[in-house]
Structure 1
Amino acid sequence: MDFEVKSVNHRYCEVVLRLPREWTRFEDALRRTVQQYVKRGRVDVYVNREEDGEHAPHAMLNEHAVRTYLQTARDLSQQYGLDGELTVKDLLSFPDVWIAPEQHVLPGDSNLEEWGPILEKGLQQAVEELAAMRSAEGKHMAADVEQRLNKLQSLHAEMLQLAPTVVEDYRNKLKQRLSDLNDGSFAFDEHKFGMEIAIFADRSNIDEELTRLQSHFEQCKGLLRADEPVGRKLDFLIQEMNREVNTIGSKANHLTLVNRVVEMKAELEKIREQLANIE
């Protein structure tokens, strides 16, 4: 017999088995065998039965179907006075005249239960090879994700330096704008000016978002080094990071900060795409 196992991205674990009809009774056991090694992804398993020429299954004539068709033709002829007879060519073109190889049991297969352990062992070897390949690929992906996390931390560090200057820049620009507009017709109100700056400072404060982002970075790196499936946890953390970055973008009335937000979102999207391949 021959086993072919393929896997693609999937949010959950889905196992699809394609095997000869006489072995469908073993589907549950074979599916559990795959799930011992794969926790996330769609896995397609193809089991092909290879036989030598002497015992290879061949299509068989369904004699019962042939007799039924012939009898039906005679009945129609007698009842409705129709002329003509069925030819061999006509019979061979009708459905169910041939029994496909997978629909009949071969000599020596009287005890099909003996195939269960054989199939499980063969599939286990195939899935172990798949798991080894997925593990090697996962290490490369984890390294790429960690590199992108380092880039995010670098952008985060720039944001930490920029954050305290946002209010001061806004204060200077607002004061200059008021000075340019003042034609002597109104007096500058220092108290109202201070109130405006205080409101802006409260509205644009991103300290909490930056603190939570740093925590998420550390959690992600810890998960990447764990010896267990972490794909879903990483998905959740990336969603949380996106939420914090979006909040910073909506609060930050500062061009340089907004540019850093755009860069962060681009890196997070690349990480999200990679995480689809990580179990």
Structure 2
Amino acid sequence: MSFSMTGYGQSALQYGGYKVEIEIKSVNHRYCEVVLRMPREWTCFEDVLRRTVQQYVKRGRVDIYMNKEAELEHVAFATLNHSAVKAYMQAVDILHDQYGLEGKLTVRDILSLPDVLHSPDHQPSADEADMEAWGEVLQEGLRKALENLKSMRFKEGLHLAQDVEQRLHRLQVLHDEMVALAPHVVEEHRMRLRQRLTELQDYSLSLDDHKLSMEIALFADRSNIDEELIRMQSHLKQCKDLFLSGESIGRKLDFLIQEMNREINTIGSKANYLPLVNRVVEMKAELEKIREQAANIE
């Protein structure tokens, strides 16, 4: 099963008079990198949230944005913390006067800031009084967003897998053609060598069949590509098996592509035969396209 490393997911839920919104974006990355952006009072949950993400994502950079907004009903029955509001406003003035920054705080901005609102009985807010419950809420919302992310990555991964499998099939066809062409390399060289010697022959000397046979035998040894073709077939089979497994395949696929590219380069350097060279060029083009797609597979 293959997943794309590119995806998006979100979720929203209500708790304790707040609306909690979670947004996740993922892109290509060699390893699994999780970046969490959340209100300061939630940083104590960072480790457990990170482990939750790693249950869904094995590879890729994952950016998670978590935010909360007070609901209108909650705001209506809450009282302002005037000292906190004044402190925020003073901070805005300092940013404007000393640093030349432009912009003003809106009512929504102020109400969303920490410690601006008190409940009517001036008890600690829900995120302070019941941190364990908040942790469960955040994990629930994160899992919903991750399920949406996983669904999108799966759909995108199907398209990538179909394209790669088609190109692997084309590589298999080219490989089979090269297996059929390989025995003709030596015979082709024998004919060219004899024809060239005949053209250069002034009939003052006779052709030495023994030396000619030795030369052809040396060429046959240098141009033999049986081992490369066997290894290439093995790599193709492993690539096909990867897509049937339920594991993360991106890194293994990337490694096999490198190995196949190495075998193809060796075949190209050995095979002094135009039909084989043409197929080497086509195989390298297909491998490069597979590499581009594999760069986005988890």
- The TM-score, its normalising length taken from structure 2, stands at 0.78
Q: How does 1:47-86 map to 2 (within 5 A)?
A: 47-53=66-72, 54=75, 60-62=85-87
- 1:93 matched to 2:125? The reply is no
- In the alignment, structure 2 segments of 5+ residues that lack a partner are 1-19, 100-104, 119-124
- 1:133 matched to 2:152? The reply is yes
Identity of aligned residues (%): 62
Give runs of ≥4 in structure 1 deviating > 3 Å: 55-59, 89-92, 100-107
Answer whether contact 1:22 1:105 (CA < 8 A) is retained. Answer: no
- One-letter amino acid of the structure 2 residue matched with residue 93 of structure 1: D
Of 248-257 and 52-61, more deviation after overlay is shown by 52-61
Render the CA deviation track for 1:39-70: whole Å, top value 9, x for unaligned: 0111111112122352699973339x89xxxx
Other-structure match for 2:167: 148
- One-letter amino acid of the structure 1 residue matched with residue 207 of structure 2: F
Answer whether contact 2:85 2:116 (CA < 8 A) is retained. Answer: no
Answer whether contact 1:204 1:253 (CA < 8 A) is retained. Answer: yes
Other-structure match for 1:14: 33
- One-letter amino acid of the structure 2 residue matched with residue 21 of structure 1: R
Quote how far apart the aligned CAs of 1:171 are.
Answer: 0.6
Other-structure match for 2:49: 30
CA distance 1:119–1:183, change in 2 (3 Å): same
- One-letter amino acid of the structure 1 residue matched with residue 291 of structure 2: R
Q: CA RMSD in A?
A: 2.6
Q: How does 1:177-216 map to 2 (within 5 A)?
A: 177-216=196-235
Quote how far apart the aligned CAs of 1:11 are.
Answer: 1.4
Q: How does 1:100-111 map to 2 (within 5 A)?
A: 102=113, 104=115, 107=118, 108=125, 109-111=127-129
Equivalent position to 1:226, from 212, 233, 245: 245
- 1:169 matched to 2:173? The reply is no
**Aligned-partner SS, 1:272:** helix
How far, CA to CA, are the matches of 1:195 and 1:56 in structure 2? Answer: 100
How far, CA to CA, are the matches of 1:269 and 1:5 in structure 2? Answer: 30
Quote how far apart the aligned CAs of 1:94 are.
Answer: 4.2
Answer whether contact 2:267 2:280 (CA < 8 A) is retained. Answer: yes
- In the alignment, structure 1 segments of 5+ residues that lack a partner are 67-88
How far, CA to CA, are the matches of 2:79 and 2:194 in structure 1? Answer: 91
Quote how far apart the aligned CAs of 1:147 are.
Answer: 0.8
Say which structure is richer in strand: 2
Quote how far apart the aligned CAs of 1:187 are.
Answer: 3.1
How far, CA to CA, are the matches of 1:242 and 1:5 in structure 2? Answer: 36
How far, CA to CA, are the matches of 1:57 and 1:112 in structure 2? Answer: 21
**Aligned-partner SS, 1:47:** strand
- The TM-score, its normalising length taken from structure 1, stands at 0.83
Quote how far apart the aligned CAs of 1:5 are.
Answer: 0.8
CA distance 1:56–1:135, change in 2 (3 Å): farther
CA distance 1:105–1:220, change in 2 (3 Å): farther
Count of aligned pairs: 254
How far, CA to CA, are the matches of 1:139 and 1:90 in structure 2? Answer: 53
CA distance 1:104–1:153, change in 2 (3 Å): same
CA distance 1:112–1:249, change in 2 (3 Å): farther
